[in-house]
Amino acid sequence: MQTDSSTDFLIIGAGFSGLVVAQRLAAAGWKCVIVDRRDHLGGNAYDRVDAAGVLIHPYGPHYFRSNSQRIVDYLSAFTEWHHVSYTIKSHTRGRYWSFPINLNTFEEYLGREASTAEFSTWLEKTRIPISEPKNSEEMIISQVGRDLYELFFEGYTLKQWKRHPRELDASVCGRIPIRINRDDRYLSETFQALPKHGYSAMFENILNASPGVELHLGVDFKEARARWSHRHLIFSGAIDEFYDRCFGALPYRSLRFEPESFSAAQLHTRQAISGKPGFWQPAMQVNYPSPDVPFTRIVEIKHATGQQIDSSTIVREYPKDWTPDDEPFYPVPNAESREAYQRYEKLTQQESRVSFIGRLATYRYYNMDQVTGMAIAEADKLISKYGTQS
């Protein structure tokens, strides 16, 4: 194949990682070509308006949160924010429960009012003391005991990962807070907000602020490498794919999303359940931990976006095994897959003109703020290696 032309940096993947590193390098005067094999920018954080007019997150809900003011300040140059207190529920044993576990959940469990002191005493008696939890099962039973673990975590985790919580890092279930007060927020980070006009609008703004960046959609890595000669390659796709899966495919979990939209009239009949007009369910996300239900959660993102519209869309999420035709949504967080990844990581250490950034290239369960930080740090490193062009 003929090379189209040359660029300083060839960046594979137009998600958070690729766009942020491109913006930083372009600000230092470097020419960047960024490609993505999808037909849109934004990677898994992409959002769009569906046929019902509802702003949805087609690759699963993306709740932006961060404890880093530096990351928030950086992104704030490209978006205003819609502040959200993300709240979710769990649906099991035929009813909705307050979730993550908090004093309200405990009252629902007892079927009567209780105090923080009573909950705290109950937890002390019920939890199974484990000083250093080694896996997700130990992590949760050491905090709340076996019954609440089985009620909310065991079935959900088995469906999500097709692995028992015992086979997963403690951090998988440990990410979910457990509180003895009535704070029922899903997340604990200090900053919790969505880009006011959506993620895609924020990504467009990043691109528009970076005149040195050329974006090519529908272009795969191999085609791009042949088309653009480059000084340095930045790869944010799957690490095993980069090396043609020479040590075999790394384990991933994938997802199937099933959206369903409702008109205002249809939603009217759900009001007794959702508790407010214009909504299908009582919270932005409802988890379904029971093994009898094939999906893990139903998300109605309108609760979080605050979009003023009469209709609404819910998305049921079905976990599935990953095949080469699927998106590799989740690296599997356990010792065995980390070991498999380390064989590829060793190869990356021999590359002097390739950087690997983001969730898939580093095979880590990173959030959006973390990959933003990683992309900024990588750009700084490259600028100190190659200098600036301004």
Ligand X SMILES: Cc1cc2nc3c(=O)[nH]c(=O)nc-3n(C[C@H](O)[C@H](O)[C@H](O)COP(=O)(O)OP(=O)(O)OC[C@H]3O[C@@H](n4cnc5c(N)ncnc54)[C@H](O)[C@@H]3O)c2cc1C
359 binds ligand X (CB under 6 A): yes
| SS3 label, residue 177 | coil
12 binds ligand X (CB under 6 A): yes
Strand partners, 161: none
16 binds ligand X (CB under 6 A): yes
Compute φ and ψ for 247, nearest 5 degrees. Answer: -105, 15
CA atoms within 13 A on the CB side of 145: 12
Q: What Cα–Cα distance (Å) separates residue 330 from each residue in 48, 290, 337, 359?
A: 22, 21, 12, 9
- Of 170 and 371, nearer to ligand X (C-beta) is 371
DSSP secondary structure of 191-255: EEEEETT-HHHHHHHHHHT-TTEEEEES--HHHHHHHEEEEEEEE-S-HHHHTTTTT-PPPEEEE
14 binds ligand X (CB under 6 A): yes
Q: What Cα–Cα distance (Å) separates residue 219 from each residue in 5, 87, 88, 174, 329?
A: 15, 38, 38, 38, 20
Compute φ and ψ for 377, nearest 5 degrees. Answer: -65, -40
Span of 152-160, 166-174, 246-254, 359-367 interacting with ligand X by CB under 6 A: 359-367
Minimum CB distance to ligand X, residue 233 (Å): 12
Determine how β-strand 5-12 pairs with β-strand 285-287: unpaired
Span of 62-70, 162-170, 258-266, 337-345 interacting with ligand X by CB under 6 A: 62-70
Span of 236-244, 271-279, 346-354, 381-389 interacting with ligand X by CB under 6 A: 236-244
Minimum CB distance to ligand X, residue 259 (Å): 14
Cα–Cα nearest to 368, from 136, 45, 28, 105: 45
338 binds ligand X (CB under 6 A): no
203 binds ligand X (CB under 6 A): no
Minimum CB distance to ligand X, residue 13 (Å): 3
Applying CB under 6 A, which of residues 11, 25, 43, 304 lies at the interface with ligand X?
Answer: 43
Applying CB under 6 A, which of residues 62, 163, 227, 230 lies at the interface with ligand X?
Answer: 62
Applying CB under 6 A, which of residues 23, 44, 136, 143 lies at the interface with ligand X?
Answer: 44
The alpha carbon of residue 12 and the mean position of all alpha carbons in its chain are separated, in whole angstroms, by 19
Applying CB under 6 A, which of residues 220, 258, 260, 321 lies at the interface with ligand X?
Answer: 220
237 binds ligand X (CB under 6 A): yes
280 binds ligand X (CB under 6 A): no
Applying CB under 6 A, which of residues 7, 18, 21, 98 lies at the interface with ligand X?
Answer: 18
Whether the CA torsion 34, 35, 39, 40 is positive or negative: it is negative
Cα–Cα nearest to 165, from 289, 62, 249: 289
329 binds ligand X (CB under 6 A): yes
Cα–Cα nearest to 34, from 56, 47, 15: 15
- Of 33 and 45, nearer to ligand X (C-beta) is 45
Applying CB under 6 A, which of residues 8, 241, 300, 378 lies at the interface with ligand X?
Answer: 241
Q: Is 88 in contact with 282 (CB distance < 8 Å)?
A: no
253 binds ligand X (CB under 6 A): no
- Of 16 and 161, nearer to ligand X (C-beta) is 16
Minimum CB distance to ligand X, residue 359 (Å): 4
Applying CB under 6 A, which of residues 36, 184, 214, 240 lies at the interface with ligand X?
Answer: 36
60 binds ligand X (CB under 6 A): yes
Please give, one letter per residue, the 3-state secondary structure of 260-312: EEECHHHHHCCHHHHCCCCCCCCCCEEECCCCCCCCCEEECCHHHHCCCCCCE
Span of 69-77, 116-124, 298-306, 352-360 interacting with ligand X by CB under 6 A: 352-360
Minimum CB distance to ligand X, residue 168 (Å): 16
Whether the CA torsion 108, 109, 112, 118 is positive or negative: it is negative
Q: Site for ligand X (CB under 6 A): how many residues? A: 34
216 binds ligand X (CB under 6 A): no
Which residues, 286 to 305, sit near ligand X by CB under 6 A? none
Give the DSSP H/E element, type plus range, for residue 55: strand 55-56
Which stretches of the chain bind ligand X, using CB under 6 A? Answer: 12-18, 35-38, 43-45, 59-64, 220-221, 236-237, 241, 255, 329, 358-360, 366-368, 371
